[in-house]
Amino acid sequence: MKNPQNMAPENPEQPMPARKSKRAQWNIARQVYMVLLAGAVLATLFTAFSPLGLFPSGLAQQLGNILNGSEEGLNQENGQQNQQIVPRIGIVAGHWGNDSGAVCDDGLTEVEINLNVATRVQDNLVALGFEVDLLEEFDDRLDGYEALTVVSIHADTCSFIDENASGFKVAAALASENPEQANRLVACIRERYSSETGLTRHPSSATADMTSNHAFEEIHPDSTAAIIELGFMNLDRQILTNQPELLAAGITRGITCYIFNEDASGNN
């Protein structure tokens, strides 16, 4: 598999006048955003506040025990405080560790794009103070996995379908046990991803492969999950390969929008 950090664009001589300015703006905005949200994460932890009951039951109990000085919040083997209280997020890099996913005629694979973006999302969220697991497609850790949220990252086909085969898709589990939270997560990712990348939501409905994704059946019922198709590897190839930081920023902002119960109406 190619190194996802060193992917080359399909047409390196194609001019991209907005790329440098957009990247510079993102670097500045990202630093400010990370500082502000890191403070929000700490405030959330120290007040044991969890909007919409986002913490899975086990994590919420553990956090409350530790903050209240309960013996149940202590490591019984060494008498020290249990450190597993940082909010956890799971990011699945679609097809990673299993297969290549969609493949273009020149050899570009979906898994390269997925892993590149997923790694950047992980880095962004870690910088905000979260514990973030980068998970393979069929990761053993998915069985009963407990987290604030789990987001599976994929890209759409490289085949040319028609001139409308552009844009992204976001979906939650068809039979989610927490539909309100799942719908909020989808709304947050949809709005923030579109705002950050400029991509529009593909008008067709989500596929059964998305709404019935295997990860939805494996993780803990309290772990709210969503899956995103970043864009089409044909018409959206330039942004998928040349500006993965924008894609990662959109997903990161969508996740924090959900966690901190932000407005997802598009008025931000």
CATH of the domain at 247: 3.40.630.40
User: What's the start-to-end Cα distance of the chain, in Å?
Assistant: 39
Q: Judge whether 242 lies within some domain.
A: yes
Q: Which helix (H) or strand (E) holds 88?
A: strand 88-93
Distance CA 92, CA 94 (A): 6
pLDDT for residue 177 is more than 90: no
Q: Judge whether 78 lies within some domain.
A: no
Distance CA 90, CA 142 (A): 9
Contacts of residue 172, defined as CB under 8 A and 6 or more positions apart, other chains included, come to 179, 182, 183, 185, 186, 211, 216, 224, 225, 226, 227
Q: Judge whether 153 lies within some domain.
A: yes
Number of domains in the chain: 1
Q: Judge whether 22 lies within some domain.
A: no
Contact 49, 41 (CB under 8 A): no
Q: Judge whether 178 lies within some domain.
A: yes
pLDDT tens column, 94-142:
999 999 999 999 999 999 999 999 999 999 999 999 999 999 999 999 9
Q: Judge whether 23 lies within some domain.
A: no
Pairing of strands 169-172, 131-135: unpaired
pLDDT tens column, 203-225:
776 777 787 789 999 999 999 99
Contact 129, 41 (CB under 8 A): yes
Distance CA 229, CA 173 (A): 14
Q: Judge whether 244 lies within some domain.
A: yes
pLDDT tens column, 41-88:
444 443 334 444 455 444 444 444 433 444 444 344 444 444 445 689
Distance CA 121, CA 127 (A): 10
Rg of the chain on CA atoms, in Å: 19
Contacts of residue 75, defined as CB under 8 A and 6 or more positions apart, other chains included, come to 81, 82
Q: Judge whether 47 lies within some domain.
A: no
Q: What's the confidence (pLDDT) of residue 24?
A: 55
A 10 A CB-CB count for 167 gives 20
Question: Which residues constitute the domain of residue 172?
Answer: 86-158+167-259
